[in-house]
């Protein structure tokens, strides 16, 4: 198991990398044109970090999220999440790993229109095999956490855009994932509602210690995270730390290596 980590702002302390990606390649064949969407990308993200991914349309941000989260398969490279390589994993195991360890928030809310807020939030739990009664309880708690306890019985069409996005935040967090992937989560929201959703995500990142990887076009959104990764043409072009965000050594667990961090927690999860 690797002992790579990401340096805290004091430069010395190593925080375990919850996501370690190296040499990740992905291309698409559409007709006779081959698009190289990711060109051997390297990226480490620390446990508890909130990272914003920025870059022009078409530079590979969504492809990166899809490959790192295992929604899609990279053509080449290594991707290690919580100390486990997801590249060699069987589809079944990867799906399970995603269901247990990851949450997703997209720009389009992807809520089921015929289901209530609670039922939408219950869904990933039921898929993961949680008993209905327990799923219901957890869903209500998650809705409460995002300030929507009083909207629990409403259907998406009866809620505002901001409320719908809060339902998807509740849904992404209900399984207490280690990592939340968000692809332009505020892209469809006005600036005030966008700020409200970001306040919520930042609060959850700081209190629940989840790692967030957030694609955004909005500099105001990006600067709320610990770090901004800028992509261009399928590669990381540059990155910068955001001043004024909490020192990562306080956010990450006080664990020195990935072996310690993930060695025992992954036992029996196969």
CB-wise, 181 or 262, nearer to ligand ADP?
A: 181
Residue 175 near which of Mg ion, ligand ADP, none (CB within 5-8 Å, type-dependent): none
**Is the distance from CB of 63 to CB of 38 less than 8 angstroms?**
yes
Quote the least distance from Cβ 213 to Mg ion, whole Å: 13
* SS3 category, 127: helix
Residue 223 tokens, joined: 């600067």
- Which positions touch ligand ADP (CB under 6 A)? 28, 30, 35, 37, 55, 57-63
CB-wise, 108 or 208, nearer to Mg ion?
A: 108
Quote the least distance from Cβ 107 to Mg ion, whole Å: 8
Quote the least distance from Cβ 203 to ligand ADP, whole Å: 26
**Is the distance from CB of 18 to CB of 211 less than 8 angstroms?**
yes
Helices (H), 154-213: 161-173, 191-208
Quote the least distance from Cβ 228 to ligand ADP, whole Å: 15
CB-wise, 156 or 225, nearer to ligand ADP?
A: 225
Quote the least distance from Cβ 215 to ligand ADP, whole Å: 7
Quote the least distance from Cβ 181 to ligand ADP, whole Å: 12
CB-wise, 66 or 164, nearer to ligand ADP?
A: 66
Residue with the CB atom nearest Mg ion in the bound state: 62
Antiparallel, parallel or unpaired: β 227-232 and 235-241 = antiparallel
CB-wise, 10 or 32, nearer to ligand ADP?
A: 32
CB-wise, 4 or 217, nearer to Mg ion?
A: 217
Residues 226, 167: Cα–Cα separation, whole Å: 25
Quickly count: other Cβ atoms within 10 Å of residue 32's Cβ: 5
**Is the distance from CB of 16 to CB of 67 less than 8 angstroms?**
no
196: DSSP letter: H
- How many residues touch Mg ion under the rule CB under 5 A: the total is 2
Of 217-246, binders to Mg ion (CB under 5 A) are none
Residues 43, 127: Cα–Cα separation, whole Å: 30
Whole-number Cα distances in Å, 131 to 53, 122, 141, 177, 192: 36, 10, 15, 18, 37
**Is the distance from CB of 35 to CB of 28 less than 8 angstroms?**
yes
**Is the distance from CB of 225 to CB of 192 less than 8 angstroms?**
no
Residue 205 near which of Mg ion, ligand ADP, none (CB within 5-8 Å, type-dependent): none
CB-wise, 161 or 187, nearer to ligand ADP?
A: 187
Quote the least distance from Cβ 258 to Mg ion, whole Å: 29
Antiparallel, parallel or unpaired: β 84-85 and 76-81 = antiparallel
Any contact of residue 62 with Mg ion (CB under 5 A)? yes
Residue numbers of the site for Mg ion (CB under 5 A)?
61-62
């Amino acid at each position: 198991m690797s002992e790579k980590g990401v340096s805290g702002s004091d430069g010395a302390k190593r925080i375990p990398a919850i996501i370690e990606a190296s040499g990740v390649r992905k291309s698409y064949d559409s007709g006779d044109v081959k698009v190289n969407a990711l060109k051997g990308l390297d990226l480490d993200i620390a446990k508890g970090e909130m990272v914003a991914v920025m870059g022009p349309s078409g530079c590979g941000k969504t492809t990166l999220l899809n490959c790192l989260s295992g929604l899609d398969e990279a053509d080449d490279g290594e991707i290690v999440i919580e100390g486990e390589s997801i590249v060699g994993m069987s589809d079944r195991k990867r799906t399970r790993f995603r269901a247990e360890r990851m949450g997703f928030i997209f720009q389009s809310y992807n809520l089921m229109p015929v289901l209530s807020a609670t039922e939408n939030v219950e869904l990933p739990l039921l898929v993961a095999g949680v008993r209905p009664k327990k799923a219901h309880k957890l869903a209500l708690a998650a809705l409460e956490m995002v300030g929507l306890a009083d909207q629990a019985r409403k259907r998406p069409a009866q809620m505002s855009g901001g409320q719908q996005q809060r339902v998807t935040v509740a849904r992404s967090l209900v399984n207490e994932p280690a990592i939340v992937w968000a692809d332009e989560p505020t892209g469809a929201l006005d600036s005030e509602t966008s700020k409200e959703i970001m306040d919520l995500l930042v609060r959850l990142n700081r209190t629940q210690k989840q790692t967030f990887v957030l694609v955004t076009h909005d500099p105001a959104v990006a600067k709320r995270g610990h770090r901004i990764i800028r992509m261009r043409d399928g590669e990381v072009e540059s990155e910068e730390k955001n001043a004024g965000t909490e020192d990562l050594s306080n956010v990450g667990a006080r664990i020195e290596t990935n072996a310690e961090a993930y060695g025992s927690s992954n036992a029996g999860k196969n």
